[in-house]
Amino acid sequence: MNYENIQVETRGRVGLITLNRPKALNALNDALMDELGAALKTFDADDGIGAIVVTGSEKAFAAGADIGMMATYTYMDVYKGEYITRNWETVRTIRKPIIAAVAGFALGGGCELAMMCDIVIAADTAKFGQPEIKLGVMPGAGGTQRLPRAVSKAKAMDMCLTARFMDAAEAERAGLVSRVVPAESMLDEALAAAATIAEFPLPAVMMVKESVNSAYETTLAEGIRFERRLFHSLFATEDQKEGMAAFIEKRKPVFKHR
Ligand code: HXC
């Protein structure tokens, strides 16, 4: 498929998607989100891919939903769901891990997109924010829901109500990002983390993602029960036999489902 708003490549078993509207600081329009959803689904279905990295440019991961696109939308345009939010849920449906590799601005929908990913590796230049309030709107793709879960109610209120940006160091302290690394090595670190994941058995990888995500959505008792059932089910996989046998025999495992 030919993409106009993203670049898609593979690096070994890692799928790399680069948001590519640099002049608009990767503002997320419907066409870009359509393409991102399609590329993510293609990688998810590809047995040769074990993990996905989504990145932007040096200056911006994404500066939010495209304001030019949204400016004239009516209530019914957006409420019907055909615009702005129509493809955002696709990211959530992807079952392989997605790493957001963030440099520069991750604002509004850009911050929300990063939070939809499973791991966030940030350059020391990264700036996160939910400045929608300055435009007379509010976060619309999970900002008011994922941010409090990631950084506490106090910080989420601060960011969504004052529109101030959080730098990379604060974002790491607050728990919004997994790691902060120097800008020069950010993409390499993200690709290396993805390559590491992509070598592990896919059933375990996918179940870890599913199980950690369930921590957001259920009670602790339900979540622990769900985790235990997934844990049990991994004993039905050949890769569990191979992983444990290889450890005992002091050799490298050869996993079947990667
Ligand atoms: C459309 C955008 C844009 C955006 C930047 N640009 N952000 N275009 N939508 N979200 C464009 C600018 O218009 C400009 O185009 C070019 O990118 C460079 O931006 P500048 O403003 O000149 O750069 P700079 O002075 O460095 O400021 C960077 C910035 C600022 C602080 C990131 O651009 C900014 O505040 N952007 C808007 C951020 C924002 O409000 N995001 C939330 C959007 S609402 P030209 O053609 O002039 O060069 C949202 C809702 C989510 O995300 C809902 C999801 C469902």
Cα(27) to centroid of ligand 1, in Å? Answer: 7
Residue 240 lies in a domain: yes
- What CATH number does residue 95 fall under? 3.90.226.10
| Torsion angle defined by CA atoms of residues 146, 129, 120 and 148, in that order, rounded to the nearest 10 degrees | -20
Mutate to test the pocket of ligand 1, among 20, 21, 25, 72 (most ligand atoms within 8 A of CB): 25
CB-ligand 1 contact for 180 (6 Å cutoff): no
CB atoms within 10 A of CB 236: 9
Q: Based on the structure, what is the number of domains in the chain? A: 2
> Is there a single domain that holds both residue 84 and residue 189?
yes
> Is there a single domain that holds both residue 72 and residue 90?
yes
Cα(108) to centroid of ligand 1, in Å? Answer: 10
CB-ligand 1 contact for 141 (6 Å cutoff): yes
Residue 256 lies in a domain: no
> Is there a single domain that holds both residue 226 and residue 151?
no
CB-ligand 1 contact for 64 (6 Å cutoff): yes
- Round to whole Å and give the CA distance between 174 and 25: 25
Residue 60 lies in a domain: yes
Ordered DSSP codes for 116-183: HSSEEEEETT-EEE-GGGGGT----SSHHHHHHHHH-HHHHHHHHHH---EEHHHHHHHTS-SEEE-G
> Is there a single domain that holds both residue 120 and residue 228?
no
Residue 255 lies in a domain: no
Considering 198, 218, 234, which residue would you say is the last residue of a domain?
198
Question: 132 catalytic, yes or no?
Answer: yes
The pLDDT tens digits along the chain (258 residues) read: 789 999 999 999 999 999 999 999 999 999 999 999 999 999 999 999 999 999 999 999 999 999 999 999 999 999 988 888 778 889 999 999 999 999 999 999 999 999 999 999 999 999 999 999 999 999 999 999 999 999 999 999 999 999 999 999 999 999 999 999 999 999 999 999 999 999 999 999 999 999 999 998 899 999 999 999 999 999 999 999 999 999 999 999 999 988
> Is there a single domain that holds both residue 215 and residue 95?
no
CB-ligand 1 contact for 129 (6 Å cutoff): no
> Is there a single domain that holds both residue 172 and residue 228?
no
Q: Is residue 26 within 8 Å of residue 103, measured between CB atoms?
A: no
> Is there a single domain that holds both residue 217 and residue 190?
no
Residue 55 lies in a domain: yes
> Is there a single domain that holds both residue 108 and residue 217?
no
The pLDDT of residue 3: 97
In this structure, what token pair is assigned to residue 172? 């790491």
Residue 184 lies in a domain: yes
Q: Ramachandran region of residue 136, left (φ > 0), alpha (ψ -120 to 50) or beta?
A: left
Cα(256) to centroid of ligand 1, in Å? Answer: 45
> Is there a single domain that holds both residue 174 and residue 210?
no
Radius of gyration in angstroms for the set of CA atoms belonging to the chain, rounded to a whole number: 19
Cα(65) to centroid of ligand 1, in Å? Answer: 8
Question: 189 catalytic, yes or no?
Answer: no
- Enter the pTM of the model: 0.97
Residue 141 lies in a domain: yes
Cα(64) to centroid of ligand 1, in Å? Answer: 7
> Is there a single domain that holds both residue 152 and residue 205?
no
The pLDDT of residue 56: 98
Domain hosting residue 238, numbered range: 201-249
Residue 245 lies in a domain: yes
**Atom 53, ligand 1: which residue's CA is nearest?**
140
Ordered DSSP codes for 58-73: SSEEE-SB-HHHHTT-
- What CATH number does residue 219 fall under? 1.10.12.10
**Atom 18, ligand 1: which residue's CA is nearest?**
24
- Decide the pairing of beta strands 51-55 and 98-102: parallel
> What ipTM goes with this model?
0.98
